[in-house]
Structure 1
Amino acid sequence: MATSNRKMRAFKKWMNWKGVEWSDALELVATESSVFVRAVGDLHEGDLVAKIPKESCLTIKTCGARQIIEEAELDGYLGLAVALMYERSLGPVSPWFGYLQLLPHSEPIPLLWSLSEINSLLAGTELHKIIKEDKVLIHEDWKECIQPLLDNASLGLNPEGFGIEEYFAARSLISSRSFQIDDYHGFGMVPLADLFNHKTGAEDVHFTSISSDSESDSDADDNNSNTEYQNNSDHEPISKNPHSEGDSLSGSDLDSSSMSGNDPTALEMIMVKNVKAGVEVFNTYGYIGNAALLHRYGFTEPDNPYDILNLDLELVLQWSSSRFSYRHSRRRLSLWRELGYSGCVSQDSEYFEISYYGEPQIELIILLYILLLSEEAYSEVNLAVSTMGDVENSWQLFLSKQGVPLENGSELSKNSLLTESVCLALLSLADARESLYGSNSLRNDIKELDRCSQLSEPKQYHSLVLRISERKILQKLRTYASAGATTKKGTKRKGKRSRMKTQDATRSVLYT
């Protein structure tokens, strides 16, 4: 604990030197394993609790290796990783040492797990294939882009600071801690801001960046930031703030310092709800499901309402080919695409989302409906689409002949296509997806989670939370399909199904 307190004192001294201002109603608490922010006085909605100069953020533009990075034409995560490794390799000489010494060497995201851990703990989950692909891609990045820098003796880089393990460690910190700053800086490491822990849908404090388009220097904006800032207005190019040598400001001083949001050189942290003294202050990284949380940040949240499950298109085609011929499946898939439909796509993989409530993406239901059409019906719609030239009207005309009702005259609803055969197909797909988890049942997973310690076995704990959350969605998918099949048989469905639009596609958070 003494070491943690010493590091925190050094960090606060560094923030004063860099001109970072924060309310004395905030307490930065350091333990041996983590750092978090707690309110020591009542905080109120609208309070400005911190102001962080952009020049205090570690970015490609502010680091000592800027020339090396730009001459090597590195950007994005790759360029920021070089910036971070470079400053860490300097040790106490680095202008960011007071900040970097507070950070862990790496974050426990699955990217840093061994292959045996990935295969045993993540089997069947959304992350199993993704993490293994990430490890290969990031290793290739290091070999193709970082190793040549080390081979260039004129750069004088310390090999120990730029090895493959250091690169993976830097990428883990960037994945879990970097923020989008503005068009000029891109994204980077933001001191103080990255100490606030995440709670899904329970944001206490909001980070605001001032847009500075005129500083762009034609730099490409990276869209894979971990937290999106709200751009309020356009401003003049950044000028470096004078360093403040004073103590942290009081809450009232901060509240009046820059509430107008007219300082293009700083980031602001503003309370969006009241927080009582003694309570931890949370940020939110977005409305993110457990697969994305574990992928990017190394933790999960039980009963996360933003969980989703993905069904790969390849799994659907495997199911179809087990019932019909390969030619049948490919012809029906081609028609589905010709009608303008597609699934979600990421990293050369196409898939369909199943919501937290077990409702499948409508594109999946349409594909199943087409796959299950009789040969006569398929030939009719295929001919109409080929000859009429108006794909949308041809499809709508065909559906009307089949007795399929359209909402608002033209829009398909999920329920209108839930034929008994489509519902049975969804049940089969749920079973096929379930089989990927192995022989352990959901009940066994839940019992294992009850026995598992989050503190002493974090990898196993969070992997189990992810598995269980995904398998519960499969249960809900079965309920959804069974209810639809029952309805089509003439049994009245009871109650009204609540619906939620998913706001985070797991595969949209992949490394680039």
Structure 2
Amino acid sequence: MASRRVRAFKRWMSSHGIEYSDALHFKDDPERGISVVALCDLKEGDVVATIPKTACLTVKTSGACKMIEAAGLGGILGLSVALMYERSLGEESSWAGYLQLLPHQECVPFAWSLAEVDSLLCGTELHKVLFNHKTGAEDVHFSSVSSHHESVNDDDDDNHEYANASGDDDEPSTENSDQDRDETDPSMGNNSSDSSDAEPSSVSGDDSSVLQMIMVKDVKVGIEIFNTYGLVGNAALLHRYGFTEPENSYDIVNIDLELVLQWSSSLFSSRYTRARLSLWRRLGYSGCVSQSSEYFEIAFNGEPQIELLILLYFILLPEDTYHTLDLSLSAGESYNEAICTILSKKNNIALENTSDMSTELFFTESVCNALSSLADMRESCYAIKSKEDDIEVLRSGSTKDRKLYHSSVLRLSERRILENLRNYAAALMQSLRPAKRSSMRKRLKRNGMQH
């Protein structure tokens, strides 16, 4: 039997002309909040709900519209005020039946104490505030159509007006939703962020338009239905919404330039390191930059950003090769000519321009070893919490201590990427060795020394 608040929500949907498929079951779990489960197999392309635009809580539809616009508030701030205003009205709000589903707060790190941030997030990407990550695993997305079911795809501001709210009391990631979490919030449960793999068209300026919830992949009976939170990783999800997703394939880890220079200075003199970094910059390279911090991205599969590979390659160049490259540049030789000359000699191939270069040209055993060392140094940043501690938290299966649980998921996700980086480097090193043995056999054969 449906809970009291689910029944109230269904009555509210009916009174606002919202239609949803009989294949959707609204489940109210005391610990996890509202979720939506498929009562039968659903196929990609199935329309499972239609929501009139007038049922959507936006700045324009809120009773606080004039006040918000007079104050010049826009975007998320304007939406937040609209949501707060409607909640303050209680049962007098047109969205009371929907708002009663929403939690009063989300467990976002912004509201954590400094002690909690330092103890639970130390070493993570979130602790450093680098939020350029991605994730995506939705089952549905919303598309706007007119009342005559014609597709609408205009880029008006309405696409950025829907209120941000979650229908889950504990785990927002497990709920069904209908729109962009940063921008939309018509009626049903949870919301998403940024963008999805299949972009929903923007909302029409016509008030008679409706939103359609459309399945973007098949979902079997009994399986929970998810909407997109956008292509963001766990650091961004925890930062924005207060939750994480285990096995988030859009996670990345950043390795700061300072960490690379620290590694180099442990092997070479500071003067040596500065000279190699200067050469790298003279050739036009740089890392990603955010908040005056320069860093390199490591993808979920462990693949490092090519600029990092090139920097490591230059740091590890033999002294004579480095001086040859340095002199070539000082003599006015172009970057194209200089780097292609060096790589051609090293790989015994002819390179005419940099467009012929591939990532593999910068791999040496020394570079692979450097990548493994950087992975170890980056992981040492989690010194406060061990990997075993985090695994035990997840093994317990309890999400009652949400801060501990989600910080553990974040750390394990990042540690997995660092392990993938080590494996990536090890696999490349292994692939280099047969090539070296083959090259040695060829030289021995030419010299008549092979038996």
Q: Same fold (TM over 0.5)?
A: yes
Instruction: State the TM bucket, normalised to the shorter chain.
Output: 0.7 to 0.9
Determine if the alignment matches structure 1 residue 301 to structure 2 residue 245: yes
Between stretches 6-15 and 188-197, larger displacement belongs to: 188-197
Q: Is the 8 A contact 1:39 1:277 kept in 2?
A: yes
Q: Structure 1, unaligned stretches of length 5 or more?
A: 134-177, 209-222, 242-264, 494-512
Between stretches 62-71 and 465-474, larger displacement belongs to: 62-71
2:158 corresponds in structure 1 to: 185
- Following superposition, the deviation at residue 348 of structure 1 comes to 3.5
Determine if the alignment matches structure 1 residue 111 to structure 2 residue 110: yes
Determine if the alignment matches structure 1 residue 225 to structure 2 residue 194: yes
Q: Report 1:7-406 matches (<5 A).
A: 7-33=5-31, 34-130=33-129, 183-189=156-162, 198=173, 225=194, 227=196, 230=199, 238-241=205-208, 265-385=209-329, 387-388=331-332, 390-403=334-347
- Following superposition, the deviation at residue 489 of structure 1 comes to 5.1
Q: Is the 8 A contact 1:204 1:271 kept in 2?
A: no
Classify 1:193/1:304 alpha carbon distance in 2 versus 1 (closer, same or farther; 3 Å).
closer
User: Aligned partners of 1:412 and 1:329: how far apart in 2?
Assistant: 25
User: Aligned partners of 1:230 and 1:358: how far apart in 2?
Assistant: 27
- Following superposition, the deviation at residue 354 of structure 1 comes to 1.8
- Following superposition, the deviation at residue 447 of structure 1 comes to 4.0
- Following superposition, the deviation at residue 389 of structure 1 comes to 6.4
Could you report, residue by residue, the CA deviation over 1:473-495 in whole angstroms, capped at 9, with x for unpaired residues? 222322333444455455889xx
User: Aligned partners of 1:90 and 1:227: how far apart in 2?
Assistant: 33
User: Aligned partners of 1:272 and 1:180: how far apart in 2?
Assistant: 11
- Following superposition, the deviation at residue 368 of structure 1 comes to 0.8
Q: Structure 2, unaligned stretches of length 5 or more?
A: 132-140, 145-154, 181-191, 438-451
Letter in 1 for 2:37: R
Equivalent residue in structure 1 for 2:378, among 403, 417, 433:
433
Classify 1:420/1:433 alpha carbon distance in 2 versus 1 (closer, same or farther; 3 Å).
same
- Following superposition, the deviation at residue 94 of structure 1 comes to 2.6
Could you report, residue by residue, the CA deviation over 1:360-381 in whole angstroms, capped at 9, with x for unpaired residues? 2221110111122244433432
Letter in 1 for 2:13: M
User: Aligned partners of 2:351 and 2:11: how far apart in 1?
Assistant: 62
Length, aligned pairs only: 403
Classify 1:84/1:475 alpha carbon distance in 2 versus 1 (closer, same or farther; 3 Å).
same
Letter in 1 for 2:199: Q
Classify 1:454/1:189 alpha carbon distance in 2 versus 1 (closer, same or farther; 3 Å).
farther
Classify 1:32/1:408 alpha carbon distance in 2 versus 1 (closer, same or farther; 3 Å).
farther
2:367 corresponds in structure 1 to: 422
Q: Is the 8 A contact 1:197 1:284 kept in 2?
A: no
Tell me the secondary structure at the aligned position of residue 128 of structure 1.
Answer: helix
Between stretches 465-474 and 404-413, larger displacement belongs to: 404-413
Q: Is the 8 A contact 1:179 1:189 kept in 2?
A: no
User: Aligned partners of 2:67 and 2:405: how far apart in 1?
Assistant: 41
User: Aligned partners of 2:40 and 2:397: how far apart in 1?
Assistant: 33
Could you report, residue by residue, the CA deviation over 1:18-60 in whole angstroms, capped at 9, with x for unpaired residues? 3322222222222334101122344333321111223322223
Q: Is the 8 A contact 2:341 2:351 kept in 1?
A: no
Between stretches 115-124 and 326-335, larger displacement belongs to: 326-335
Could you report, residue by residue, the CA deviation over 1:371-394 in whole angstroms, capped at 9, with x for unpaired residues? 222444334324434554643343
2:387 corresponds in structure 1 to: 442
User: Aligned partners of 1:71 and 1:387: how far apart in 2?
Assistant: 63
